Amino acid sequence: MSVSAIASNGNASRSGSGKRANFPRSARLLRHADFERVYKQGRRHFAAHMTVFYLRRAEDDGLRVGFTVGRILGGAVVRNRMKRRLREAVRLSRPESGPPADVVINPKKSLLTAEFSVLLTEVSNAFAVIQKAIGKVS
């Protein structure tokens, strides 16, 4: 982020719509047990640069998203870059009132070289697939 994008109060400037897209802690998948439950009981959606696992939740708190990037994909710097790109794509394309589901995104190595617009499209498509699948079950 450039210095000019930082407001005088130290916060990043808002997008053109005046509303800031965010990715709060309550929208993140954090506990190991939650990740394991999604892997064991959930369904999968395959995309070119990632695999998305998802599982419907009983609580109606909306969508919670987590990321797993294994060591096989590269060193710490590379893995952190992948997570930053995914977090930003999720932040920009996450539905405000998503279905009550837990989502885990596993990137593939090709994620690093993919255009960000392609990544945004894949994440948006994954959320649409999840919305449709969870909607059928309700």
Q: Give residue 65's pLDDT.
A: 94
Buried b / exposed e over 83-95, threshold 16 CB at 10 Å, is eebbebbbbebbe
Which carries the bigger pLDDT value, residue 128 or residue 61?
Answer: 128
Average pLDDT along the chain: 84
Instruction: Report the pLDDT averaged over residues 13-34.
Output: 72
**Cβ-contact 102, 37 below 8 angstroms:** yes
| Confidence tier at 136 by pLDDT (50, 70, 90) | low
Please say if the pLDDT value at position 92 is more than 70: yes
Instruction: Report the pLDDT averaged over residues 63-89.
Output: 94
Instruction: Report the pLDDT averaged over residues 37-54.
Output: 95
Distance CA 111, CA 116 (A): 9
Helix axes 116-137, 76-93, angle to 10 degrees: 60
Which carries the bigger pLDDT value, residue 31 or residue 62?
Answer: 31
Show the domains of the chain with their CATH numbers. Answer: 25-131 (3.30.230.10)
> Judging by beta carbons within 10 Å of its beta carbon (0-12, 13-18, 19+), is residue 45 exposed, middle or buried?
buried
Distance CA 49, CA 125 (A): 12
